Every structure is written in structure tokens, then in C-alpha cells.
Amino acid sequence: MATVTESKKRTVRINGCVASAQAAKYADVDVITAYPIRPYTATMMALAQMVANGELDAEYIVADSEHSQLSIAHGAASSGARVFTGSSGVGVQFAYELYSPISGSRMPVQMMIADRTLDPPGDFGSEHTDALSTRDMGWLMGWACDAQEAFDNHLMAYRIGEDPRVLLPQMVCQDGFFVSHITSDVELPDPGQVNEFLPPYKHPYPLDPRHPVSHGPQIMPEQGPPLQLERARAMEDSMAVIEEVHDEFANIFGRRYDPWVEEFMTDGADVVFFMQGGHAVTARFAIQHMRDRGVKVGLVRLRTIRPYPTDRVQEVLSKFKVVGVIETNMGLGSVSSGGVLYAEACAALYESQQRPLVVSFMAGMGGEAIVLKEFYWMTEKMTEAQKRGKIEKRTHWVGFEE
Amino acid sequence: MSAIEVQRQLLPILDSPNQGARFYNPELPSSEPFVPGHRTCAGCGPSIQYRMTSKAAGDNTILIGPTGCMYVANSSYLCTPYNVPWAHTQIGSAGSFTAGVAAAYEAMIRKGKWKGAYPNIICEAGDGSASDIGLASISGALYRNHDCLIICYDNEQYANTGIQASSRTPYGGMTTFSPPGPMVPEAKKLYPKDLARMMAAGHPHCYVATASVGYPIDLMNKVRKGLNHKGAAYLMVYTPCQKGFVYETPRSIDLGRLVVECGLYPIWEWDPEKRQYDYSFRPQNMRPVSEYLKLQGRFGHLHTQHIANLQKFANEQWQMMGVELPEALLQAADAKNLVNMAAAEEAVTVAETV
Amino acid sequence: MSTKGTHIPERLKIPFAGITPAPSQEKGQDLFPTGNWRAIRPVYRDKLPPCNNACGTNEKIQGYLDLVKRGKYVDAYALIKEDMPFPSVTGRVCYHPCEQACNRGKYDEAISIRAVERFLGDLGQALTRDVVKAGAPNGKKVAVVGSGPAGHSAAYQLVRLGYKVTILEKSPKAGGLNRGGIPDWVLPQHVLDREIERLVELGITIKTNVEVGKDVTWDDLKRDYDAVVLAVGLTQPNSVRAEGENKDGVLYGLPFLRDIGMGTSKVKLGARVAVIGGGNTAIDCAREALRQGAVEVTMITVEANPQEMPAVPEDLHDMLEEGVELVHGRAMTAVLGNGKVEALQLHPARFSGAINASPINVNREVPAERFHVDHVIIAVGQRAALDWLPDEFKSDRGTIKIDRFGRLGDTNFFAAGDVVQLGLGQPLMVVNAVGDGKRVAFNLDKVMRGESLQPRTIPVDVIFDLNRMNMTYFPHFPRVHQTLLAPASRRKTQEEVIQALSEEQAVEEAGRCFSCGTCNACDNCYLVCPEPCIERPSRSNGLYKILVDYCKGCRVCIEECPTGCLEGVPELDFDTGVVRMDTAFAILPGLHGRQAEELRNLAERPAKSI
């Protein structure tokens, strides 16, 4: 902890990648492992410079692949070190093998994701499919919509994931470019505040020659289910911890986030957007504009997708007539034949007494911005559905339809 | 930043027993990092290697086991024979997981989060992991020079999955992925990847050596040299697999000697200081490859031409080590001078029942 | 909440994330006993090494070589002293049947056991206090008649058993054959003196100039002692019964050597000397003759060639090196000369049957040869002088008649050494006499304690076949040869011909020992076991233990045992230590729950020292 030299809270203008790097520095990580892929690379570049400058005492390992990155992170966390790694796009998927072993061995590895479209062809733009494809692997997961939130999410994720009641890895996601590469003001805390908030990492059974244990022995088929059940329990038990930690964060740092969903101008709203990540910032402008024109539209932004706050989503979305899910991800041949968020939102609403109409929008794909005009168009589609009492079709490809 | 200096261990090198007339092993440490109660086959070569390696390393050790026999058979059903910390990792993660453990200890000791001498960090990768799927990760760990020892326990096949060919399976070796048949009489057509030499050539700052369970003290000393070397070390160890090689279990150590004596497994060290190979290790005898082949069912199908090919390969290995070849071995590289392997048919029958 | 209301049944309780606590170093991973995979169990069974077997007194040769190899010289000396009172003597004079039996002889060259024995004997001589102590006195008195090898050995063993021993010796100095039959240049007198001193130190009384039959009678012995060991040896030289054998200049082997040994010899040898006989005494006589001033010494033997001679090959070689000539296939049929020997009459001859054990056929049909000599020394064996012995105990061959335990009838008299062994047709050598003395002493003790004498019935397994060992572990390595005095200088001196081994040489030579069939704690089984299930509480011979709960019966240890001590025994032969089938493949119920408990307690467990 003594390695952080800043002594005071201060505000800096940095992008999301650097904010993540700063968060890793404040968390005094021991092992960082990097492999270049845009756009998350900027985080690792910033960390490399910090280590070179002596601002952060950590082992900085340039891995030979994302698979190795995650394996290094797994090994280091198993030994008792706090680990930071990250990736984007196909890099996230190259490491796919490791997601389950890491959460299965209950190692609270932290991974920063700056989203990127999957190939083909090579596309630098943001799309949430990369991280979402790993959503069921036992990692805590959520999206930030700006640099400050990204910084805060990293600190909270360490605190949640390392909690002995949880011990799960975390994927702290932000949209590539829209968050990762756009600068904004970020308040960096006083190191003392971080010390108060985030105790040193201590796994109960690390690889320590003084207390030898074996990690990950082979099991009998009948031993699989109890281990899975325990992992599922940890995921569910984390919900209470997540709420606790958000409260404590607010008390220490003065910024209060709803751990599950952010509601924006939902008072009296008939139709709402349901979405994750950085496009919410544009959505807020569009909604304000439409509210000025009397359209009863609001925004529900999902902050944590794993664990999925089913009850909360049901409770919130049931207040409205129409819900428009903005996917920013691809679920080819999925329930809605669009993205993957629709199915989960619908499932959450299924048991509701007042089910809203739900429609899915394929927008923000391939890294394209969702412009105000498109939010207006989508609002129109929702209002029409409200009037009609039924949706025209489950999924709209925004920008490709009249 | 006030970094704490990392203390490293220095393990003493054992006397070689066969100096002069006597046979008598040097005093071995009493600690047992590897204990009985595991499901490896009777006479398992990799298990013998594990025993020797862990004995040489001692208690301040962390073992890493990528998927392979020494993971599946040793830790079956939540049992563990490891009396030191051990962790499974994915088969392709041999070098990277090990690097993570090494980096963690460097950082934790330096930052005062763990007190004690830097542990021996040993990765026990099978040849499938080391030569195929985990090659890049091991190369990465060696290249970055983490203070660790990566061992390839080379049983020349994927044994745990039921005997499949790896890049280390020798020419002529029968496996379930390289069966002999009328179109492919020699079974495996490819010669093994020269893995250890590849590691030495590509990572000349590392201590690299080959060893065999047939020479236990040499093996244990190489383990200790690798651990004492500050930085990464790589050791490739011949470990016969009675299930895949199809031989009688008592011959495990004997095969470890024969493979060296017949030149199919050259034993050498790469000295990272001098940047040169040390070829001074010499077995007691030099033998034709047929003496090694005939003990194993996996070679039972070979024709004289194939045996001659293997002899030629062995002769090349000897020559590379600067050993002058006796006339008999040169002759044996010509199929005209050979007879078909004795009891070849019987050996095939045994092999097919595996 | 999907996990609400779930519970994990007791039998599936497993540790956190499957993280498994380490097994114990002592017991192994007791969840998974693999012992019932085994069909053949490795068992440590020490065999008798051929050297121990061949030795007349069954010295634990492999044992002391092993101790020398590890630098434990005093322990080695103590071990040798269990069976051999005077290793410094046998280390010089023994005909070493052990070396003939040595398995290494079939491989490269036999171990130079005698040289190592001498190294230990000399080491023992240099000790201020001997390692051997007299036994607690049992109040019984024993007389030992004769202080040669057998008497010395019997007295030594008896005093260790607690007897009050008196040695009666007819000569002015004790030592018997060791003093009278062995030249100084083989066994210096001071070496023997020191060994006799050791006997006195143990509390043995030695009465010299006491001859049985003259100074004491049979009845005296019977009256004055609780038991008696007769080890009177063979004192009368055999004659060849040749014409003119009574002429001046005709000498007999043992008296010739004895007089020189005792310092009472008045003989001045002429230039040409012949020795009759082909045995070891004859060789000693021939070589002694050179040292006594003879210029040309010729040895005349009935044997047709050197190989047939009943002599130690090395000694024969040394003799020839010193310049003694050999004449084979001749018998001396007459001594010619006018009152004094001038020449010998020789006829061709051969043994009628087995060499040395059958009458001699002399071919008198060819003309006799005349062989000029100044002296002739006849060395064709000895016989006993037993006038004093009651007739009932005399055998047909002029020796003492004993039962198989060395006892004279049901008396408390025992006999040992050449005086009985000649009668039994056993080879006569110092070490056999020592062994006989030892065994008779033990038998005497049993009789004194009222125990019955039982012949040995347990068969011994002696390794003669090198295939029962793993020869890979033994590189060919040349024997360490003792240095000899230069042949030319030997004639002028009574100095020892054969020089002692240095410490390094002794260790190197002992290191060549295979330890045939005997565990020598080489640690090989311990190191090569794949489980590993061979326990080694401390590194010591015979202390290895196979953990039968785990041993899978792969037999690698048996194959790799260098000495052949480990052997495989079918599991069906055992009724203990067999692992039940149901434990080897299935986890015992509740064990993972216990593991989970152990894991939780891990932090409270004392940290393992590293």
C-alpha cells in the first residue's frame, strides 16, 4: 500500500483505459499481465509506464497470448497475489478455456474488458459480444458507462470478488472507444480512502509451502454437482455483498451507485430503454430532448449482468408499458434472433403480473455510435407498439429499417 | 518504495554414486514431498520421475501440474499425493500458470507480503503439453526468464487419454493415433520434435538439460541445477510408460538406461554461462537400438528397414554428441544386416489388448 | 434464488473448491490404498554371500567390507572380531577361500578380501584398548591345550563367554603353528605377539613349556578343569619313507620353519637346496631357504604341473619370482651321500587317483635321475603326536576321534583344529582351525549350560549366480593389488614380502564388493519406487520397509536391487498386510468430509517448516 505516492484526492481528465489503470494502481496489484489488442491495450500501456516510473511495484508480464495471460493471472492469484489483466474482442475469446477453471478454483482474478467486435473481419469498434459470450462462466460482470464509473467499478469489484463469502473472478467492462478512449473528469481518491475500503487480498488456501494444499484435483462425476452448486451459491451470495459494498463505497468516496440498475427519467415513463454501457450517455441526451417534447420515455441501465438482478429487473421494468432492449451484442439465432439481453429481460418479466411489451433493437453494432436520431426512431417504434398494444416484430435492426 | 531483497535457495549437488568402484547412493534428504496413494500404473515412469524430482527439490517447493497423467492419475477423486502445494492447470497453460506463480512470489516477497526464501517453482508438463499445446506458453516462460523449472516428463505420447501420438512419439512408435497397417507399416512416420534443443537454441539464457529416470542422481542433480539457476530452466526427462510402451513393469528404470545406451535419447546440458552444450555424459555401454526396441510392444510391428532407420537416427544423435561410432552400430543402420524383431507378433497381440 | 433450500448430502461433502489438504508424509494419501493391485510383493531377504559361506570361520566379510566402504573402520574391526580373534594374522597368512568364492571373480577380479582384513587387523592392533571384552565370569574353568589357531580361537571365544581360560603350550612361546609354521616375512613375530597380548588382556592365563602327557596328564586335566579343549595340532612331520632319509642334511618342513621362528635354528644351508612337496608349507620352506643363504632352490613335486599343486597361486607366483625352480612329476626315492646328503635319487611319479588324496605311483622302470643338493627339506605334511590320549579317542588316521560337535564321547573334552580336521579329510588351513575352535567353544558352552547340541538344519541361500543381482550397477573396476618387495631384495631380508594397503586403497577395494544378496543400504529401492512406498526410518542395512497398503507390485525395486537382496514373493503366500479389494478403487465414505474439516483447520495447523 505504501507504493501509492498520491496523498490527496484530486480530479484528472483521463480516458476509461487510463482510469482502469489508475484503479489497478490504487488497488496495489502485485501481478499485471498484458497482451496487446486494441482497444484495452491503452490500460496496459499506462500500467507499463507506471511500473517503469516506479509509481507501482508489481510484476508486469507481457504474456505470449491471452490464454497465457489468463493462466498467468490464475497462477498468480492461486499463489496469493492480487492480479490485474484484461483484453478485448477476439482476445477475450482466445482465453476462453480459462474462464471456468478460474471461477471454479474460486480465484478472484480481475479482468478489464474494453469491448471490441469479434472477427470477421477485423473491426476495432465496440460491441459487447466478446465479454457477454463468457457471461455464464462464473465471473461477476458489469458495464461502466464512463471513466469515473469504470474506476469505481474496478475498486468495488476487487472488494466484492475477494470477499471470503464470494471468491469469484470479475470482469469489469467498458465500451471500447466510447468509454475507453474518451476523456472525462475522474476523481482519484486519497490512498487512505482506498486502504479503508479495500483490505489486502488474502485467499484462504493459497499455494503456500508452509500450508500445502492441492488445487484442482480430478473429481469423480458425482463430485461435480456439489462443486457447481457451491459456485452457484457463491454467485447468488455475492448479491448481498454487492449491495453492502456499494453502500460502503458511497460512504467512503461519496459516490452512490445503484448496484443493479440506474433509472433515468423513469418517473411517469411509458416506454423505457433497457441497455448497458456507454451508449447510455447518448440515451440520456435523447431522453431529455424527447421529454422536453412531451414523450414519456426513460432509461433503465443494467449495471450488473452477473449475477443477474432478476427480481429487481422484473420490479423496475414492470412499471412501464413498453421496454426497448438495446442489445449492442450479437446472438445469432437467439430467441429474438437478435441479441442476448432480450431473452434475459423477458425471462425476468415472465412472472410479472403486469408484463410490459418487450422489443429488441440491434443498435451500436460493429462500433457504430447510436446517434440521437436513432434513439428517436426507436422511441417511435416503442410508442407505436404502446398504441397498438402489441409489438410489430421482436427485433429491429436500427438504421436498416424504415 | 523499499523493496525487500528476494532470498533464493541453493541446493547442494549430490555426489555421483558410480564414481570408481562402488555403487552406493549419496545421502538423500528425508522429506517426502510426493507420497503414495495415487492411481498411476504400476511401475509408472513419470511417477518415478516425480518422486526423484520432488525429493531433490525438498519442502519449500510448489508444483504445477498441467493436464496429463500426473494430474489425472495422481489427483484422482480429490486425492492428492503431494505434500507440497500443487495446482492443476490447463494442458496449454504449463508455462504461463507457472510464470504467474513465479511472478506472484517475486512480487509478494519483494513487497513484504510473504516472508521466506523464494520457493522452488516446478512445472511438470507431459510431452503433449510441452511439445504441442503448451509449447508457446513454455517458450514464453523461458523467454521471460521467470525463476522456475519447467520439466517435460517425456513419455513420448498422450498417455492419459489412451495412448495417442504426440510430437515426441518416436518414429515407428505405435499409438492409437498412429496405428500400423498395410499402408503405414511403420506406424508413426514422423521423427520426434527435438524439443529440448529447441528450447536451448531459442532461450540461450536458460539452463536446459535432458535426463532419464535410468540415471537418478544425474536427474536429481539436474533438477537442483535448474532450481539453483537464477532464472528459467528446462529439463526434459525420459519417463517410460508401461501402458503405452507395452513392457513389463519392472523394466522402467532399465528402459531409462537402455534408451540412452542405444543413443535414442542423448543426455546433455546447455550451459547458459558459457553458451555451449556439455556432451560429457556417457552411458556405460553403447548398444544397438534393437536391444531397446525389442522390450516394447509398441515397436513389435517394425520391419528391418524401420529398425535400420531408427539406428541411423540414433547414430546421428551419437555423432552430434561427438561420439565415434563402433563399426557394429554403423552396420546396424543397414537393413541388410538386421533380422526381423524377435517375437514381433506376440508383441503386437499384447499391444492391441491395451 | 436457485440455490435456496439446497443441501449437499453428507457423502458428497467436499472441501472448498475441491482444494485438498496435503496428505501426511508418514502415512501417505490414506484415501487411496493401492496395495491390492499387487500380485507379487517385494520382500527383503538377505542371502549368505559366497565369501561368508566359504570362510572357514564364516567371517561376515560382506558386512565388514561394507563398513570399510563407509569409513567405519572400528565397527568393521569389531565385526570381524566376532568370528576371528586375530585378523592381523589371517590378513597375512590366510589362504583366503573367500576370494576363490568371490562372485566378483567371475566378473572381473575377486575382491582382495585378505588385504582388507589385514588393514583392519593392523588397525585393531594399533588400538590402545581392544573392542572385545571378556564375558561376565560364570565361574567355570577351561583348559585349552595348544595355542595355535584353533586353541587361540577357542580360548578367545570361551573367555568372551565368561569362562576362566588357561592355555597350556608346550613351546617356550605361545602361538603354535602361527609362530612355528609361518615365516617372519609372511607374519612378523611382533604382530603375533600383539595378538597373544590381546588374549592376556582378556584375562586368559597362558602357561608355556607345559606339554600334555609329560607335564600334565589326562587325569590332571580332567580333575583341574570343568572342560578341556584339545587343540594340539599336528607336530610330527611326515616322512617320504625314502632310503637314506636319516642322513645329515635332511630336514623336515615344519621343524625347519619352527626352529627359525623360535630363533633356535642351528642349520647353515648349503648352496643347493631341494624341497620335496608341492603344498603351501613346501613353498614357505623353499622361499625361507633362499633367505637362509641357499643359492639354488629347487622344488620337487609329484604333481605334473603348477596348476595341480595344492598351493595358493599367488604364493607360488611369488616363489617363482624369487627364483625357485620347479621340477614336476618326480618322487624322491632315495637320499644319496656318504653320511651327509649329496644328491637325491628321483623317479618319475604320479598320483594314482585324485591329486593329493591318493597313493603315489612311482615308475621305477626308467633309470633314476640324480639330483645334486647340499640340503633337502621334506615338506609333505604332518601328523599328530597323541601318545597321552586314551586309546578310545584315537582315530584310525592317528587323529582325535570326536562326534559331530567336536566332543570326545560324553566327556567334557573337546578337540579342534588340524588334529581333528586331518582325520575328517578337511582342508588344513589356519582359518578352518579358527572356525573349528570357535564352533567347539560354542558347543562346549552349550554342554556346560546343559543345553542340547543340535545340528544346523536351516538351509542357507548362497548367491552364486550373477543373474540374481543387477550387474548394471557395478562397473568393471580392477582389483587393488598389494605392493610386494622387489624379488631381488627379498633374499636378504626377513621383511614382509606383501605390503599393507593404504586407507584409500582399502576403501577402494572394499568398494568393489557386490554385497551379494545382502542389503547394504544403498538406497536404490528407496529412490526408484514410483509410489514411493519404501520407508527408510534411518539409513541402515535391513531397515527399509515396504508399505504394503500402497505397493502396487511393479517390481522395479526388485529389478533394480543391485545386490539381489530384494525378491518377489507371490501375494498368496501372505496372510497379513493384504489390502482389501473394496478400499482400492472406491473412496471410503466420509473421507472427503474429513478432508473438508482438515482444510478448514488448515490455518490453525502449525505451519510446515520449509
Identify the three-state secondary structure at position C341. Answer: coil
Q: Is B77 an 8 Å CB contact of chain A? A: yes
Name the neighbours of B, counting chains with at least 3 Cβ pairs within 8 A.
Answer: A, C
Mean pLDDT of C314-342: 90
Q: Tell me how far apart the alpha carbons of residues A112 and B310 are, in angstroms, rounded to a whole number.
A: 52
Establish whether the linkage from the previous residue to A200 is cis, with ω within 30° of 0.
no
Whether B79 and C473 lie within 8 Å, measured CB to CB: no
Of C3, C19, C610, which is closest to A213 when you measure between CB atoms?
A: C19
Query: What's the total number of domains in chain A?
Result: 2
Find the closest chain A residue to C598 by CA distance: A213
Q: Is a pLDDT exceeding 90 seen at residue A107? A: yes
Query: How far is B22 from chain C, CA to nearest CA, in Å?
Result: 5
DSSP C378-432: E-S-EE---TTS-GGGB-TTSSB---TTSB-TTSSEEE-SHHHHTTTT----HHH
1-60 in chain C: CB under 8 A from chain B = 14-15, 18, 20-25, 27-34, 37-38
The pLDDT, as a whole number, for residue C587 is: 64
Cβ pair A299, A266 in contact under 8 A: yes
State whether the Cα torsion C356-C362-C367-C370 is positive or negative.
positive
All 3 cell numbers of residue C321?
619370482
Q: With both helix axes pointing from N to C terminus, report the angle between B45-57 and B252-261 in degrees, rounded to the nearest 10.
A: 90
Structural domain containing residue A160: 10-253
The pLDDT, as a whole number, for residue C496 is: 87
**What is the bridge-based pairing of β-strands C330-336 and C343-351?**
antiparallel
* Structure ipTM: 0.94
DSSP A136-192: TSS-EEEEESSHHHHHHHHHHHHHHHTSTTT---EEEEE-TTTTTT--EEEEE--HH
Does A4 reside within a domain?
A: no
Query: How far, CA to CA in Å, does C59 sit from each of C51, C56, C87?
Result: 8, 8, 10
Query: How far is C594 from chain A, CA to nearest CA, in Å?
Result: 14
Tell which wins on pLDDT, C590 or A16.
Answer: A16
> What value does the CA radius of gyration of chain C take, rounded to a whole number of Å?
32
Cβ pair A273, A295 in contact under 8 A: no
Look up the CATH superfamily of C239-381.
Answer: FAD/NAD(P)-binding domain (3.50.50.60)
Chain A / chain C CB contacts < 8 angstroms: 73
Whether C554 and B76 lie within 8 Å, measured CB to CB: no
The pLDDT, as a whole number, for residue A1 is: 47
Q: Can you say how many angstroms the Cα of residue A298 is from the centroid of all Cα atoms in its chain? A: 22
Along the 354 residues of chain B, how does pLDDT read in single tens digits? 578 999 999 999 998 765 555 677 888 888 889 999 888 999 999 999 999 999 999 999 999 999 999 998 888 888 889 999 999 999 999 999 999 999 999 999 999 999 999 999 999 999 999 999 999 999 999 999 999 999 999 999 999 999 999 999 999 999 999 999 999 999 999 999 999 999 999 999 999 999 999 999 999 999 999 999 999 999 999 999 999 999 999 999 999 999 999 999 999 999 999 999 999 998 888 899 999 999 999 999 999 999 999 999 999 999 999 999 988 888 888 888 776 554 444 433 333 333
User: Per mean pLDDT, which range of A211-225, B84-98, C16-30, C467-481 is the poorest?
Assistant: C16-30
Find the closest chain B residue to A2 by CA distance: B1
The pLDDT, as a whole number, for residue B77 is: 81
Q: What percent of chain A has pLDDT over 90?
A: 94
Whether C511 and B21 lie within 8 Å, measured CB to CB: yes
For residue range A74-91, what is the model confidence (pLDDT) as tens digits? 999 999 999 999 999 999
262-301 in chain B: CB under 8 A from chain C = 284
Domain match, A249 and A300 both = no
Domain match, A199 and A345 both = no
Same fold, C28-46+519-610 and C141-235+384-448: no
Q: Tell me how far apart the alpha carbons of residues C265 and C539 are, in angstroms, rounded to a whole number.
A: 56
Q: Tell me how far apart the alpha carbons of residues B181 and B187 are, in angstroms, rounded to a whole number.
A: 7
Q: Tell me how far apart the alpha carbons of residues A345 and A203 are, in angstroms, rounded to a whole number.
A: 35
Domain match, A272 and A336 both = yes
C41 beta partners: C569
For residue range C289-308, what is the model confidence (pLDDT) as tens digits? 999 989 999 999 998 888 88
Whether A214 and B75 lie within 8 Å, measured CB to CB: yes
Establish whether the linkage from the previous residue to C9 is cis, with ω within 30° of 0.
no
Mean pLDDT of A148-175: 98
B181 beta partners: B184
Q: Is B307 an 8 Å CB contact of chain C? A: no
Q: Of the candidates A224, A253, A282, which is a domain's last residue?
A: A253
Query: How far is B211 from chain C, CA to nearest CA, in Å?
Result: 15
Q: Tell me how far apart the alpha carbons of residues B120 and B294 are, in angstroms, rounded to a whole number.
A: 39
pLDDT confidence tier of residue C357, bands split at 50, 70 and 90? low
Nearest alpha-carbon partner for A363 in A348, A349, A373, A354: A373
The pLDDT, as a whole number, for residue B351 is: 35
Q: Is a pLDDT exceeding 90 seen at residue A16? A: yes
Domain match, A275 and A189 both = no
- Give chain A positions within 8 Å (CB) of C593: none
Find the closest chain A residue to C608 by CA distance: A210
The ranges assigned to domains in chain C are 28-46+519-610, 50-130+465-511, 141-235+384-448, 239-381
- Give chain B positions within 8 Å (CB) of C556: 43, 48, 249-250, 252-253
Tell which wins on pLDDT, C488 or C100.
Answer: C100
Q: Would you state the torsion angle of the CA atoms of residues A244, A245, A248, A253, taken in this order, to the nearest 10 degrees?
A: -150
The pLDDT, as a whole number, for residue A233 is: 96
A297 beta partners: A271
Domain match, A167 and A278 both = no
Cβ pair B192, B168 in contact under 8 A: yes
Mean pLDDT of C478-503: 87
Q: Tell me how far apart the alpha carbons of residues C489 and B258 are, in angstroms, rounded to a whole number.
A: 52
Does A272 reside within a domain?
A: yes
**Mean pLDDT, chain A, as a whole number?**
95
Q: Can you say how many angstroms the Cα of residue C416 is from the centroid of all Cα atoms in its chain? A: 17
Q: Is a pLDDT exceeding 50 seen at residue C64? A: yes
Neighbours of A217 (CB within 10 A): 26
Domain match, A120 and A214 both = yes
120-179 in chain B: CB under 8 A from chain A = 136-137, 139-140, 143-144
Q: Tell me how far apart the alpha carbons of residues C60 and C50 are, in angstroms, rounded to a whole number.
A: 11
Q: Residue holding cell 498411476?
A: B40
Whether A72 and B88 lie within 8 Å, measured CB to CB: no
* CATH 3.30.70 is the classification of domain C28-46+519-610: yes
Whether C520 and B24 lie within 8 Å, measured CB to CB: yes
Query: How far, CA to CA in Å, does A254 sit from each of A142, A152, A248, A260, B71?
Result: 21, 11, 9, 18, 49
Chain A / chain B CB contacts < 8 angstroms: 183
Q: Tell me how far apart the alpha carbons of residues C454 and A279 are, in angstroms, rounded to a whole number.
A: 105
The pLDDT, as a whole number, for residue A28 is: 97
Neighbours of B114 (CB within 10 A): 22
Q: Is a pLDDT exceeding 60 seen at residue C437? A: yes
Q: Residue holding cell 492480487?
A: A82
pTM of structure: 0.90
- Give chain A positions within 8 Å (CB) of C592: 223
Q: Of the candidates A230, A253, A276, which is a domain's last residue?
A: A253
Domain match, A279 and A153 both = no
All 3 cell numbers of residue C541?
542395512
Query: How far is A13 from chain B, CA to nearest CA, in Å?
Result: 27
pLDDT confidence tier of residue C455, bands split at 50, 70 and 90? confident
Q: What is the CATH number of the domain that holds A175?
A: 3.40.50.970
Domain match, A349 and A230 both = no
pLDDT confidence tier of residue C222, bands split at 50, 70 and 90? very high
Domain match, A198 and A288 both = no
Identify the three-state secondary structure at position B248. Answer: coil
Cβ pair B67, B111 in contact under 8 A: no
Whether C531 and B47 lie within 8 Å, measured CB to CB: yes
For residue range A344-354, what is the model confidence (pLDDT) as tens digits? 999 999 999 99
27-86 in chain B: CB under 8 A from chain C = 27-28, 30-32, 34-45, 47-48, 51-52, 55, 58-60, 75-85
Indicate the fold that domain C141-235+384-448 takes in CATH: FAD/NAD(P)-binding domain (3.50.50)
The pLDDT, as a whole number, for residue B328 is: 86
**Mean pLDDT, chain C, as a whole number?**
89
Whether A68 and B137 lie within 8 Å, measured CB to CB: yes
pLDDT confidence tier of residue A5, bands split at 50, 70 and 90? low
Does A3 reside within a domain?
A: no
Highest mean pLDDT among A258-262, A388-392, C338-342: A258-262
All 3 cell numbers of residue C528?
526408484
User: Per mean pLDDT, which range of A103-112, C457-466, C477-486 is the poorest?
Assistant: C457-466
Whether A75 and B110 lie within 8 Å, measured CB to CB: no
For residue range C359-394, what is the model confidence (pLDDT) as tens digits? 788 888 888 899 999 999 999 888 888 888 999 999
Q: What is the CATH number of the domain that holds A288?
A: 3.40.50.920
Q: Residue holding cell 562397473?
A: C475
Query: How far is B133 from chain A, CA to nearest CA, in Å?
Result: 11
Indicate the fold that domain C50-130+465-511 takes in CATH: Fumarate Reductase Iron-sulfur Protein; Chain B, domain 2 (1.10.1060)
The pLDDT, as a whole number, for residue B37 is: 87
* Phi (first) and psi of residue B168, to 5 degrees: -95, -5
Q: Of the candidates A214, A237, A253, which is a domain's last residue?
A: A253
Query: How far is B250 from chain C, CA to nearest CA, in Å?
Result: 4
Domain match, A265 and A377 both = yes
pLDDT confidence tier of residue A372, bands split at 50, 70 and 90? very high
Name the neighbours of A, counting chains with at least 3 Cβ pairs within 8 A.
Answer: B, C
Q: Which domains does chain B have, with CATH numbers?
A: 45-286 (3.40.50.970)
Contacts of C255 by beta carbon, 8 Å cutoff, 6+ apart: C237
Q: Is C366 an 8 Å CB contact of chain A? A: no
Q: Is a pLDDT exceeding 60 seen at residue C447? A: yes
The pLDDT, as a whole number, for residue B18 is: 58
Neighbours of C322 (CB within 10 A): 18
437-476 in chain C: CB under 8 A from chain B = 472-475
Nearest alpha-carbon partner for A45 in A71, A21, A61, A12: A21
DSSP C125-167: HH-SS-S--PPPP-S-EEEEE--SHHHHHHHHHHHHTT-EEEE
Domain match, A343 and A247 both = no
The pLDDT, as a whole number, for residue C536 is: 86
Domain match, A393 and A320 both = yes
Q: Residue holding cell 582342508?
A: C427
